[in-house]
Amino acid sequence: MDSPRSVVAKSCVTENMKNERWLRIIPVALIMYTISYVDRTNITLALEPKISSMMHDLLMDDRLKGQAAGIFFIGYVLLQVPGGFLANHWSAKRFVSICLVLWGACAVGCGLAKTFTQFEVMRFLLGMAESGVLPATTVLLANWFPRAERARANGYWNLCQPIAIVVSAPITSLLLGTFGWQKMLIIEGCLPFIWLPIWLYFVSDHPRQAKWISPEERDHLEATLKKEVADLHSTGATPLWMRWEILVMVVIYFLHNCQAYGCMTFFTASLKARNFSPFEYGILLAAPYVLTAIIMVVVSHNSDRTQERRGHVAFVYAMSGVSLILSILLKDYSFWLSYIFLCLAIPGPFAAIAPFWAITGETMPRPMMGLVIGIVNGVGNVGGYAGPYLTGWLKEISGNTNLPFALLGIGMFTASGLCFLLPKAAPQKINSPTPLPAADAHA
């Protein structure tokens, strides 16, 4: 029998190996996807007339501004389903590697554009190049993190969205002021090429392919994940076309993206009551995304702790809708109070991502998972085009963002209610298919 000291020592070693899985997979995926969000969100500052000449150079009004930001999401539909399919049946790692090269080339191409048409075409191709990354990476994480860890894994990975804005907004503002919008887009467009070799070195598709993982943890993960897949197969015989919940997920995700990108694209328009400097614009744009990152971590942790998904998604959507409406109502009375509620409105769609995608991983058979994620993310991301376009169009008609932001808030309330139509995962069985490693037994 092992002494108490040796048991503690073994537990510490096992815990370190378990931590290595989180430290090796999540940060590399996080930074990879953060780079893709830099290429999406730098357009928000580049299209602000007070700090960039882009709208003037490309002869754009507010309607074309929304179209320029949103055309990305039309291209973003195209490779969602193939991306999910190839991740399941070929290799998520290799597919994402190809996407890194393609979207880097397209991001640089956006900076080389001389006309609105050229820019619009490159933004469309950029969206297409990035479109398969989310379903592929979601499948990759499902190959590494069992159900009890999945919301946290998705939550940490999707911190890329607020982090991209928090980190890049001040830097993008400085690059805009120093070099102009074209050179800024070219410089930031080179980031995927820098990250590609790191992605190739650190990431493996499955635990069985990784040389750095311990045999004990590898066998436990493979057995646990295999059993979860088998459980889903036993309850998932319904054909894809008969799963009505997929339609509900598409509608929810469409409204989700309308709000996320409609607010993001026209966020600086609500700051024009004050004469802020370009750097101050960057800080004010970044501030709500700092709060977003905190809320995302809290929501994903609590969702995993309680193993509840639908209520968490519904709550943050409702919070977003209430805050957006209050921001509009307070706009004429207090700029800073209105800004605070606008900051509270931003986190909703982002904080919902971790539990939302956990529902897919816990209710869909594994061979179907990548396909479903591709359909929901692809069609739902049309909202990333509709949100900015309609917001710009309605702003041009009404003269401000009150009407479009109110509609986005109502969309959040609608999405919150629809969450309770989403499927619930079957209760997780207590018995493990293999003995837990020592650290897990103490958890």
Alpha carbon dihedral 55, 124, 99, 262, in 10-degree steps, equals 60
Show the tokens assigned to 12.
């510490």
CA dihedral for 303, 308, 309, 310, sign (positive or negative): negative
Nearest-angstrom CA–CA distance, 401 and 328: 9
Q: What are the angstrom distances between the C-alpha of 223 and each of 118, 170, 218, 227, 292?
A: 51, 46, 9, 6, 35
Widest CA span of the chain, in angstroms? 78
Instruction: State the architecture of 18-206+229-426 in CATH terms.
Output: Up-down Bundle (1.20)
Please tell me the predicted confidence (pLDDT) of residue 440.
36
Q: What are the angstrom distances between the C-alpha of 25 and each of 205, 246, 339, 438?
A: 10, 28, 36, 22
Please tell me the predicted confidence (pLDDT) of residue 284.
83
Number of H helices, E strands in the chain: 21, 0
Residues 116-139 as b/e (b if ≥16 CB within 10 A, e otherwise) read: beebbbbbbbbbbbbbbbbbbbbb
Nearest-angstrom CA–CA distance, 233 and 304: 22
- Average pLDDT across the chain, whole number: 81
pTM for this one?
0.70
Low-confidence ranges of the chain (pLDDT < 70): 1-19, 231-242, 270-274, 278, 365-367, 370, 425-443
Residues 6+ apart with CB under 8 A from 88: 139, 366, 367, 369, 370, 371
How many CB atoms within 10 Å of residue 442?
Answer: 12
50 φ, ψ (degrees, to nearest 5):
-75, -20
Please tell me the predicted confidence (pLDDT) of residue 227.
80
For residue 17, what is the enclosing H or E element?
Answer: helix 4-46
- Domains of the chain, by residue range, sit at 18-206+229-426
Residues 286-307 as b/e (b if ≥16 CB within 10 A, e otherwise) read: bbbbebbbebbbebbeebbeee
pLDDT in tens, 54-86: 888 898 887 888 788 778 888 887 877 788 788
Please tell me the predicted confidence (pLDDT) of residue 231.
64
Please tell me the predicted confidence (pLDDT) of residue 98.
94
Please tell me the predicted confidence (pLDDT) of residue 104.
94
Nearest-angstrom CA–CA distance, 319 and 292: 12
Show the tokens assigned to 401.
């963002």
Please tell me the predicted confidence (pLDDT) of residue 428.
55
For residue 302, what is the enclosing H or E element?
Answer: helix 278-306
DSSP state of 148: H
Nearest-angstrom CA–CA distance, 295 and 297: 5
Please tell me the predicted confidence (pLDDT) of residue 13.
41
DSSP structure string for 325-372: HHHHHTTTT-HHHHHHHHHHHTHHHHHHHHHHHHHHHHHS-HHHHHHH
- Contact of 30 with 157, CB cutoff 8 Å: yes
* Residue 317: CA count within 13 A, CB half-sphere: 30
pLDDT in tens, 356-391: 988 877 777 666 776 787 788 778 878 888 888 888
